[in-house]
Amino acid sequence: MRAMVLARPGAGALERVDRPIPVPPPGHVLIRVSACAVCRTDLHVVDGELPHPSIPVVPGHEIVGRVERVGESVDGLAVGDRVGVPWLASSCGSCEYCRRGQENLCRNARFTGYQIDGGYADYTVADARFVFRIPDEYGDAEAAPLLCAGLIGYRAYRMAGRARRLGLYGFGSAAHIVAQVAAFEGCDVYAFTSPGDREAQAFARRLGARWAGGSDEAPPEPLDAAIIFAPVGRLVPEALSRTVPAGVVVCAGIHMSDIPAFPYRLLWEERVVRSVANLTRQDAREFLALAPRVPVRTHVSLYGLLDANRALADLRAGRVQGTAVLTTGDAEP
Ligand SMILES: [Zn+2]
Ligand SMILES: [Zn+2]
């Protein structure tokens, strides 16, 4: 099988290798990948911004494919089932976080495309307890962004609380999904893009944003909450300065540049800054049930599997509208 591999930490690019098709161990399934979305986290892995990736590693944690082979002692999955594989590859089920419903913070969690091989390949292996059926309403490629941009975006959206006026900083893959969910639930969405990025602003308005402008601009009304998807620390005080008392600012990315010092008055009056880490399987169940009801429509740019480096470069340069998705040639519409 073909696989795109990060061969050394921080290499900044992937190499094509040919490998034998893996055999699923007990409790796991072998999946024939049809589509894998490209997440900003993949860029952080490839560029060496996250510590201790397993090397070599196949990135990719927004995987859609069909079960090709079932390992021993797997319940509820059969050959031919269409499934999705997210960032959370496994959790221990016994640590204090797992026991209280926060498996996203599990001390022994493993993550797809970072500590174990992911979906930038023709096949991947996944723990059967951590894969999800894909709603029938979606084709393979359009479903792929639901698995991280959707799931973690949805977790961040819930952490923002009941905001009537919601700001989204960075209008990429996750924000283009969250904007649709928020508009569906009656929020007014304010989209903040790189200053001067008129195309992204027009895209946000088409997806239901009430207002779109640069991240250095004041929205026409103050915000009840903001979610920061861009990996840019200076947006934290910027977003705080746009929120009302008791407003919430959620940092949704796994990596961010340093947050500059800011005056305490920006946090005063019970404003909250928090991060969102990873996802739980409950997030996935809730979001995959909600998405077709909205209905969330994902906007994808397709690349061949072997064009993974071009997709990463386009994401790095801000040239992707919606989500870049790699396809192996097996994607079903
Ligand atoms: Zn991701
Ligand atoms: Zn645990």
Residue 233 DSSP one-character state: T
Q: Near ion ligand 2, which residues have CB within 5 Å?
A: 91-92, 95, 98, 106
The per-residue pLDDT for 208 is 93
Residue 51 and residue 84 in contact, taking contact as beta carbons nearer than 8 Å:
no
User: Would you give the end-to-end CA distance of the chain in angstroms?
Assistant: 23
The per-residue pLDDT for 331 is 62
Taken in order 158, 164, 167, 168, is the CA torsion positive or negative?
positive
Ligand nearest to the CA of 173: 1
Residue 58 and residue 89 in contact, taking contact as beta carbons nearer than 8 Å:
no
In this model, does residue 29 exceed pLDDT 60?
yes
The per-residue pLDDT for 332 is 59
Q: Token digits for 10?
A: 């921080």
In this model, does residue 333 exceed pLDDT 60?
no
The alpha-carbon radius of gyration of the chain (Å, integer) is: 19
- Mean pLDDT value of segment 235-264: 97
- pLDDT-derived band at 329 (thresholds 50, 70, 90) equals confident
Instruction: Give dist(CA 147, CA 170) in Å, integer.
Output: 19
Chain segment 301-323, per-residue pLDDT in tens = 999 999 999 999 999 999 999 99
Chain segment 193-243, per-residue pLDDT in tens = 999 999 999 999 999 999 999 999 999 999 999 999 999 999 999 999 999
In this model, does residue 330 exceed pLDDT 80?
no
Phi, psi of 84 (to 5 degrees): -120, 145
Q: Which residues contact 297 (CB under 8 A, 6 or more apart)?
A: 142, 180
How far does the centroid of ligand 1 lie from the alpha carbon of residue 99, in Å? 24
Instruction: Give dist(CA 129, CA 256) in Å, integer.
Output: 31
Give the count of beta carbons closer than 10 Å to the beta carbon of residue 8: 12
Q: How far is CA 252 from CA 130, 158, 198, 249, in A?
A: 21, 11, 23, 9
Instruction: Give dist(CA 161, CA 125) in Å, integer.
Output: 36
Chain segment 74-133, per-residue pLDDT in tens = 999 999 999 999 999 999 999 999 999 999 999 999 999 999 999 999 999 999 999 999
* Single pTM value for the model: 0.95
In this model, does residue 154 exceed pLDDT 60?
yes
How far does the centroid of ligand 2 lie from the alpha carbon of residue 277, in Å? 14
**Residue positions counted in the chain:** 333
How far does the centroid of ligand 2 lie from the alpha carbon of residue 131, in Å? 17
How far does the centroid of ligand 1 lie from the alpha carbon of residue 88, in Å? 10
Residue 127 and residue 133 in contact, taking contact as beta carbons nearer than 8 Å:
no
Instruction: Give dist(CA 143, CA 89) in Å, integer.
Output: 18
Q: Near ion ligand 1, which residues have CB within 5 Å?
A: 39, 41, 148
The percentage of the chain sitting over the pLDDT mark of 90, rounded to a whole number, equals 98
The per-residue pLDDT for 209 is 96
Which of 297, 131, 159 is CA-nearest to residue 229?
159
How far does the centroid of ligand 1 lie from the alpha carbon of residue 270, in Å? 30
How far does the centroid of ligand 2 lie from the alpha carbon of residue 102, in Å? 8
Chain segment 156-176, per-residue pLDDT in tens = 999 999 899 999 999 999 999
